[in-house]
Amino acid sequence: MDAQARSVLYRIIRRIPNRNIENLLKRWNCLSADQMRALDYTRPKWMIVEHVISFCEESRLGLKHVTNLEMIYRIENPDQGIWNACQLAEAQDDAVCVELTQFKEQFKAHLHGVIRHISIKMKKHEDEAIWIRIAWGDNFSKPNHLKPTYVVHHLHTSYVFISNLMAKHKIFLCQALVIATKHGSIKDGLLSTKSLNAMRDLLLRRYQQVFPNAHSRILQERNTLPSFPCIGKEHRDHEEIRHQMACEAFGHGAMPKLETAVYRLETRYKGNSNYTLSDKEEFFRGVVRFSSSSLLESLRHCVASGMAEGPVTPLLSAITQRGRNYFVITDKGPGVSSQASAQRA
């Protein structure tokens, strides 16, 4: 085993609690039963790593196997690092019949064609997701396995989730994805979060949505009745309207756990009292950042409980409707700034 394989292995083991190491190694399925038995998981991490490395050398396992271990670990713990979403557009006619093997071949062929040193590994997870691990090198240097890019794609959907991608490699990856999935173009989805699952649920609409409908009242099942007959609510109608509104904007039931939403303002100051700011031609720049352990649920609660009055602004409902959490708000004309930005988005 070379130094890079050792350091990759050490990095993986370092991140896992000792009690989970055994499970991971079992799933890796590269060590023999005797070797597994010989490992003592109560020892310090560096000793375990030394042991595993010596076993790997015994069984002649190399970098390839270690990266495989890393993939297994990463697939099981997807909520690490920042994930970005990209959206594929302009699907070709045969985009719906792309198969896994075809995708794999095209993707690899394209990347190997443009970069001489690159290591690509693909795995299909149980939930139909394709996980791709790419270690980038260039014409003169070996692939760097310490900073791999992870890409997750569900075939026949128009979203790709990417983690840890450097700007200079973006163009290569995007080209390969566009070609392999038979689409015309790819653009930044403007959604980034720590949790891959939240992102997937939000974009692939895997949460319970409520559609505006005057006739069916889904919320009837919600328990609005007070627990005792002698308790009466004066504003019950109002409360139901609010709940309906909140659920239409942010869904019903458990929501994807999005953590932040960022609004970048590039607007002019419009107050009439403070003329020193309003007469300037330049933009009044600022960033508004909402953060919460579960942002969508917080927003829904704000609307449902009446803390935020009135209909939900398109700026907030755009998080779910457009599946993004980064917005740029610009002036388009007096009084239409919020609307304009939602459309611009």
Partner 1 sequence: MSLLRPYSKVPELITATVLLVENEEEFQSKLADAIVQHEKEFNVNVRLARKLPLPVENKETRPRIDLIVFIISLLSQRSLQSVEGSLAHLHSDCFLGKVCFLVTDARCGSHTQERLVRVRKLAASHQCPVLCAEHRTADGVIAASVRILNILKVSAGMSPIATTALYLSSLTRCSATSDLEED
Taking the C-alpha atoms of residue 285 and residue 265, their distance in angstroms, rounded to an integer, is: 5
What SS3 class is residue 206? coil
How close are the terminal C-alpha atoms of the chain, in Å?
A: 49
Q: Pattern of binders to partner 1 over 183-222, x per CB under 8 A?
A: ----------------------------------------
Between CA 319 and CA 14 the distance in angstroms is: 36
Interstrand relation of 129-136 and 149-154 (parallel, antiparallel or unpaired): antiparallel
Tell me the closest approach of the beta carbon of residue 306 to partner 1, in angstroms. Answer: 6
Of the candidate residues 81, 113, 184, 226, the single one contacting partner 1 (CB under 8 A): 226
- Asked if 239 interacts with partner 1 (CB under 8 A), we say yes
235 binds partner 1 (CB under 8 A): yes
Please identify which residue in 17, 44, 232, 335 interacts with partner 1, judged by CB under 8 A. 232
Asked whether position 230 contacts partner 1 by CB under 8 A, the answer is yes
Give the distance, in angstroms, between the CA of residue 314 and the centroid of all CA atoms in the same chain.
22
| Residue 237 or 279 having the CB closest to partner 1 | 237
Q: Name the minimum Å distance from CB 223 to partner 1.
A: 11
For residue 122, the cross-strand partners are 132
Task: Determine the size of the site formed for partner 1 (CB under 8 A).
Answer: 15
227 binds partner 1 (CB under 8 A): yes
**Does 224 contact partner 1 by CB under 8 A?**
no
Contact between 310 and partner 1 by CB under 8 A: the answer reads no
240 binds partner 1 (CB under 8 A): no
CB nearer to partner 1: give 211 or 228.
228
What is the rounded CA–CA span in Å between residue 85 and residue 324?
Answer: 9
Residues 135-154 that bind partner 1 (CB under 8 A): none
Report the nearest approach of partner 1 to the CB of residue 239 (Å).
Answer: 7
User: Structure tokens of 118?
Assistant: 């690159």
Q: Indicate which single residue of 29, 54, 209, 305 sits in contact with partner 1 (rule: CB under 8 A).
A: 305
d(CA 1, CA 6): 7
Neighbours of 188 (CB within 10 A): 15
Residue 344 CB-half CA count within 13 A = 16
